[in-house]
Structure 1
Amino acid sequence: MLTSYNILLLFAFVGWLVGYDGHFHFDNIGDSYIANKVPYLAFRALPALLGSLTVTVTYLIMWESGYSLPACVLAAGLVLLDNAHIGQTRLILLDATLVFAMACSILSYIRFYKLRHEPFSRKWWKWLILTGFALSCDISVKYVGLFAFVSIGSAVCIDLWDLLDIKRPNGALSLPDFTRHFVARAVGLILMPFLFYLFWFQVHFAVLNRSGPGDDFMSPEFQETLSNNAMLANAVTINYYDSLSLMHKETKAYLHSHTDRYPLRYDDGRVSSQGQQVTGYPFNDTNNHWQILPADGSEDVLRTVKNHDLVRLRHLVTNTVLMSHDVASPYFPTNQEFTTATLEDAYGDRAQDTLFEVRIENGKDGQEFKSVSSHFKLIHNPSKVAMWTHTTPLPDWGHKQQEINGNKQLTPSSNIWLVEDIVSLPADDSRREKPEKNVKTLPFLQKWFELQRSMFWHNNQLTSSHPYSSQPYQWPFLLRGVSFWTQNDTRQQIYFLGNPIGWWISSSLLAVFVGILAADQFSLRRGMDALDHRTRSRLYNSTGFFFLVWATHYFPFYVMGRQLFLHHYLPAHLASTLVAGALVEFIFTTDAIEDAVAAAAKGKKPAPKRHILAGERFAGQSLVGAWIATGVILALVAASWYFFLPLTYGYPGLDVDAVLRRKWLGYDLHFAK
């Protein structure tokens, strides 16, 4: 999922504490930390610590919600003995931090909600602000932390709706008092988390002020705020009659042409112009070279190209001129075809069709057009379409290269190109000499908005297939995992996989919870009230809140089009363990079941139970069944945890038979033969 840069500051801080100089870039999976002298133990200590604390926070969530000791132990035990959580916490990964922040936000909100009868007290404010801070930390790790806002925000909306009720048992609130409650929650759970979030980016911009490998994702204006920026150092002013190589900013494909022509008919029966093909090509060669010519035919070679100039582009190898016209492109019937025209036609009958406007992004009138740093859109002058490309390859007739066409939508960032180099300019030309420039500044919010847009865009581009990607419907049933690392010589493999027994029990109890609610509603419709008020309130409000947390952290993935992996389910899995602990208490608390069944059989309302709503807990003798159920479940889970431990820790030496015994659901394990 989309990673915020703020979590990386934590790892950078750990590296700074141990004196790490950042020489190792973590480029390739399998590179030796020891050989490269990476303080990996220090880096692993951060997720390990937070992952360990997550178990404690899970226990406290159940305890603060008023559940019995076996329910608390079961929920915490399902997280403690889960191989997926262990796999995330023992490696240098981000999701342990995400899950910890999400768990802290739930715990803080529960503590805040328990103080609802002491509104605006010091403790009330403390836990409200801590809830907002935890939410801010959650979204600062990954943007899926927004799901925690949805979970808690939904509970807050329900709470406010109850406060608005004029018939509430504790007395109706006046509208000014209700407004105070609303404003307090808006400040504590929206405004303050946003300010916390902005603060971490302020730290980010202050600390990371030098040029690095992520520069290409940012605009030239942003890059001018970074010291030692190579792009700006290599920027050269472009003159007319320079020969250029043009690159698409997002796909890194060069504007390319060759002598082959479009076919007469495409597969869908549409007719082309049979003109010379213009394509996007990933490799640099002479067919990517274009000479920029002035629209007025001036022969002044020292004249600088400027923003909004009308130009022509001559393809040097074929001696033809780039053009677009009102013919549909190969893949997009609504977009215009790009082709080339002969020099005679370019300055004759097709003169208008070969004119293009250089429109520099965020450029000023008269701004000089420069290589590398001037990101621009090439707008076809007569038709006002932007030159655009995409990653879907053309058929064999187009040599599997990218289609170039005219996009009628001018605003998308996917229309942006840059001049990668002036190929006709010698290396020792005076134009390439650049004096040292002072680092510029940009307003904080402008930099922040650009970075947010960049992160969102690149996250949405993660749509390609991956051998270990999975779909949301596979996660609750643990149908497949992810191979993190293998070592052929020692037959070692780290395979990211949850604890199958634990996941299946938790997922089954989610279904049981839905069934219980449906059965209760059906019984009420038939006049049979088998639950007392406190039990039903606990079931719907507390366990229902845990179920809501699970649902809001799970179902949104069904509408995402990007790559998805098993680790995206970890926050939802933690929520499912909370539901599991609550239901084991509900099902296996002996006196609650017996009284409810007896009352239902007699057609009477059961006597009040000792189910708590505000701190009162079960008497010990009623928890025997819950303890037995907890012991049996955790014993099975512990056995499954131990059985899959070699895959979690990458133990050496598993033989073929041992690997095959662990392919429970066809897990794609290595060394199975």
Structure 2
Amino acid sequence: MAAEKAAASGADYGDGLRKRPVPSSQAASARPAQPEDNKKFVRKEKSFVENFEEWEPVFAPILFTILAFATRLWKIGLSNIVTWDEAHFGKFGSYYIKHEYYFDVHPPLGKMLVGLSGVLAGYNGSFEFKSGEKYPEEVNYAFMRAFNALFGILCIPMAYFTARELNLRRPAVWLVTLMVLCENSYTTISRFILLDSMLLFGTVATVLCWAKFHNQRHNSFEPEWFFWLFMTGISIGCVCSVKLVGLFVTALVGLYTIEDLWNKFGDTKMPLHILSTHLFCRVIGLIVIPFLIYMLSFALHFAILDRSGPGDAQMSSLFQANLRGTNVGKNSPLEIVYGSRATIKNMGYGGGLLHSHVQTYPEGSQQQQVTCYHHKDANNDWFFYPNRNEPDYDPESEELRYIGDGSVIRLIHSQTGRNLHSHQIAAPITKSANEVSAYGNLTIGDAKDHWQVEVIRDAASRDYSKLRTLTTAFRLKHPVLGCYLRAGNKNLPQWGFKQIEVTCTKENNPKDAYTHWNVESHWNDKLPPSDPGVYKSPFWHDFVHLNVAMMTSNNALVPDPDKQDDLASQWWQWPILHVGLRMCGWDDNIVKYFLLGNPFVYWGSTAGLGVLGLVVAWYLVRWQRGYKDLRPADVDQIHYAGLYPAAGWFLHYLPFVIMARVTYVHHYYPALYFAILTFGFLADWFLRNRNAGVQGVVYGVLYSVIVGLYILFIPICWGMTGSNKQYSYLKWFDTWRVSDS
């Protein structure tokens, strides 16, 4: 009834705006036919221009898509060697085919699609994808590359429709589409077994769905409105499941949603239940659905990778124990006794194995380092020994002495024989905590080698008198200092091999999972074997654990000052196309690829961002002085077609400016797409009111320059054969290392 009353009063409470007036053409058709109108019903042939305008939205995207197929697939199998990061993502795809668990810093969806491409190509997962290695005949790498290229191809028609949804005129729509089609770096990155074309596809799809949804703002709660709302959410879920960079375009949609709901909140005529419904629909469509898709990708990841593999150590002990072919927990004795050799796993999200090695701290005590490490080796093994106030352990004649809640023990590093130790020296990174080191030996040491076991819980029993493999979660308290052994997610510098810092924290927080430990693997010939792996690890725990491990490892990818990375680049170099990237070796006898963009697309889009700022400042100054240059429709056009793409560029670019991790040129590609949209808006804004001749000349020059430069630099995309010196004409600057000459 409220909606009917609203409609009767001329208001559309679906979006808080007044009902749009009936177009004059519809009003005219609604009145009775007059005698003089019969003269108007004479059939008139459409002109060429009218026919063109009618069919352009059909044939133009088809033509651009055909060109995309041609440019992305031509000679895609020319190079038969593993190129650049194909070594990583091809290998990850192989793990899905072999069902072997692995670890990577990116979410799983993109790599599962790489695995799918291998299955469709008839690949069995046996190839190791070593960098620079020649593909064997049984690996249809060209098909796998073409499968990946399809995502890059689909970006072109989606860019066309996005520009149309942003209300750009046809020449500007073509300009945007051409800039995406003829962007050399987009062409090159789409032609290999990588995740970047999938990431770009997800970003472009999200922007298209957002623009479609925005244009349904006058039709709230209609089927098409719901469709594009949910499609936006699905796109967000997919792009975030490929790379976490997808969170940046998520932030753009979130910014729009906040503004949209704020405007509706300010509409006092909108009933509260309608406003609440808007909020509820957006929570479901833009938060719940993306999160469910993201979780689903991990559920598939865990379901497919059910065998033990190289990434086991990143996961909890119980998770590993349930993998096929694992040694974790299999045939391990259940209860822990003095003399047992074991690996001890930190139970915090992303936690590793308690580890030590012969290297010492460069500062502080300068004693042997103790860290947490995710890879399995002998330096993760520790012996459980009695404290120095109890009789020494005699492996020949001693009866079994069980360890349980309250036991005060020593942990002896199996490889170096040193005791796990702490003292009142600040930890190397976390200065508020005490340093943990390995010190002394079986006979040399003191009470600071002692640790008291505090059992937190046990999945197998409520009897805490015995420490159990896998199932017991316990803390280790230093009796002398009163601190607790902890391994957070802070990585040591290069002198600590970027491994996780282990400290003795002074805070007594039993809920701090980073102070929780469990015995992962256990060896003792005096005890009977058991199978603690019958206990399952909850999905939610595994999901959160893996995501924390991903973020921790990603943050650890910082530049090494002791090593020269010729492929890395700085954030300031990207918008000005200061550098490119060699994707393979540069010998004369191999096909060479150089990751470099179309100069005009880069420089023009970067300049466009600055020009947009000047345009906005100009109109703001004019508005403040009382000039009324812009109609409401013009303000909306600047807002949604100009400022939002610029905000998208900012959200995708700024994180790489402030983050410490190592960066490469391809990290700029999602941001570049938003810069292209901004340039298209500016071209449309400045030329839309010019006469047809001026528009034809300007757009013709723009089209020609973009296509011409694309063709000039196309060898770096399709593969350069022979001597690299014959391509020296492409080396406009010394930093463009296309040629060695």
Q: Please classify the TM superposition score into its range, dividing by the shorter chain length.
A: 0.7 to 0.9
CA contact 1:482–1:566 (8 Å) conserved in 2? yes
Mapped to 2, the partners of 1:117 and 1:281 lie a distance apart of: 56
Match of 1:326 in 2: 424
Give deviations 1:535-576, integer Å, cap 9, x for gaps. 333122322222222222222322322222221221111111
Residue identity in the other structure for 1:20: Y
- My pick for the range that moved more, 575-584 or 524-533, is 524-533
CA contact 1:102–1:138 (8 Å) conserved in 2? yes
Whether 1:48 and 2:163 are equivalent positions in the alignment is no
CA contact 2:333–2:530 (8 Å) conserved in 1? no
- My pick for the range that moved more, 284-293 or 211-220, is 284-293
Whether 1:297 and 2:391 are equivalent positions in the alignment is yes
Note closer, same or farther for the CA distance 1:318–1:41 as it changes in structure 2 (3 Å cut): closer
Match of 1:662 in 2: 730
Whether 1:526 and 2:594 are equivalent positions in the alignment is no
Mapped to 2, the partners of 1:128 and 1:401 lie a distance apart of: 43
Give deviations 1:341-383, integer Å, cap 9, x for gaps. 576774xxx33x221135689756345455x999986543322
Residue identity in the other structure for 2:311: G
Deviation, 1:254, is 4.3
SS at match of 1:233: coil
Q: 1:3 aligns with which of 106, 119, 130?
A: 106
Residue identity in the other structure for 1:649: W
Mapped to 2, the partners of 1:403 and 1:63 lie a distance apart of: 53
CA contact 2:578–2:736 (8 Å) conserved in 1? no
Mapped to 1, the partners of 2:209 and 2:583 lie a distance apart of: 34
Note closer, same or farther for the CA distance 1:65–1:280 as it changes in structure 2 (3 Å cut): closer
Deviation, 1:180, is 1.6
CA contact 1:71–1:626 (8 Å) conserved in 2? no
Deviation, 1:500, is 2.0
Residue identity in the other structure for 2:546: L
Deviation, 1:507, is 0.8
Residue identity in the other structure for 1:323: H
CA contact 2:475–2:484 (8 Å) conserved in 1? no
SS at match of 1:445: helix
CA contact 1:506–1:576 (8 Å) conserved in 2? yes
Match of 1:641 in 2: 710
Structure 2 residue runs without a partner (length 5+)? 1-103
Q: Structure 2-normalised TM-score?
A: 0.73
Match of 1:165 in 2: 266
Mapped to 1, the partners of 2:575 and 2:724 lie a distance apart of: 29
CA contact 1:494–1:647 (8 Å) conserved in 2? yes
Match of 2:175 in 1: 74
Residues 139-538 of structure 1 aligned to structure 2 (within 5 Å):
139-166=240-267, 172-233=269-330, 235=332, 239-242=337-340, 254-256=355-357, 277=368, 291-295=383-387, 296-297=390-391, 299=393, 300=398, 302-306=400-404, 309-314=407-412, 321-328=419-426, 334-337=432-435, 338=437, 340-341=439-440, 346=445, 350-351=446-447, 353-357=448-452, 365-366=464-465, 368=467, 370=469, 379-383=477-481, 384-386=483-485, 391-392=492-493, 406-408=504-506, 411=512, 413=514, 440-465=535-560, 466-486=565-585, 488-490=587-589, 492-538=591-637
CA contact 1:475–1:566 (8 Å) conserved in 2? yes
CA contact 2:162–2:211 (8 Å) conserved in 1? yes
Note closer, same or farther for the CA distance 1:103–1:41 as it changes in structure 2 (3 Å cut): same
CA contact 1:585–1:626 (8 Å) conserved in 2? no
- My pick for the range that moved more, 406-415 or 214-223, is 406-415
- My pick for the range that moved more, 41-50 or 386-395, is 386-395
Mapped to 1, the partners of 2:492 and 2:644 lie a distance apart of: 43
Mapped to 1, the partners of 2:415 and 2:484 lie a distance apart of: 26
Note closer, same or farther for the CA distance 1:438–1:297 as it changes in structure 2 (3 Å cut): closer
Give deviations 1:247-270, integer Å, cap 9, x for gaps. 999788842459x9x99xx6xxxx
Whether 1:625 and 2:676 are equivalent positions in the alignment is no
Mapped to 1, the partners of 2:260 and 2:344 lie a distance apart of: 57
Match of 2:158 in 1: 57
Deviation, 1:434, is 5.6
Deviation, 1:506, is 0.8
Structure 1 residue runs without a partner (length 5+)? 267-271, 592-621
Whether 1:107 and 2:204 are equivalent positions in the alignment is no
Note closer, same or farther for the CA distance 1:160–1:304 as it changes in structure 2 (3 Å cut): same
CA contact 1:78–1:637 (8 Å) conserved in 2? yes
CA contact 1:105–1:134 (8 Å) conserved in 2? yes
Deviation, 1:18, is 3.4
Residue identity in the other structure for 1:526: R
Mapped to 2, the partners of 1:66 and 1:355 lie a distance apart of: 71
SS at match of 1:213: coil
Residue identity in the other structure for 2:391: G
Aligned-residue Cα RMSD (Å) equals 3.9
Note closer, same or farther for the CA distance 1:502–1:376 as it changes in structure 2 (3 Å cut): farther
Mapped to 2, the partners of 1:111 and 1:654 lie a distance apart of: 48
Percent of pairs with identical residues = 28
Whether 1:569 and 2:668 are equivalent positions in the alignment is yes
Mapped to 1, the partners of 2:566 and 2:453 lie a distance apart of: 41
Give deviations 1:437-480, integer Å, cap 9, x for gaps. 87653433233222222222222222244432223222211222
Q: Structure 1-normalised TM-score?
A: 0.80
Mapped to 2, the partners of 1:23 and 1:518 lie a distance apart of: 59
SS at match of 2:329: helix
- My pick for the range that moved more, 176-185 or 1-10, is 1-10
Deviation, 1:97, is 1.1
Mapped to 2, the partners of 1:199 and 1:319 lie a distance apart of: 46
Q: 2:127 aligns with which of 9, 24, 28?
A: 24
CA contact 2:338–2:400 (8 Å) conserved in 1? yes
Deviation, 1:235, is 4.5
Whether 1:549 and 2:648 are equivalent positions in the alignment is yes
Residue identity in the other structure for 2:478: H
Residue identity in the other structure for 2:730: R
Note closer, same or farther for the CA distance 1:245–1:194 as it changes in structure 2 (3 Å cut): closer
Mapped to 1, the partners of 2:471 and 2:513 lie a distance apart of: 19
Note closer, same or farther for the CA distance 1:190–1:499 as it changes in structure 2 (3 Å cut): same
SS at match of 1:386: strand
Deviation, 1:205, is 2.9
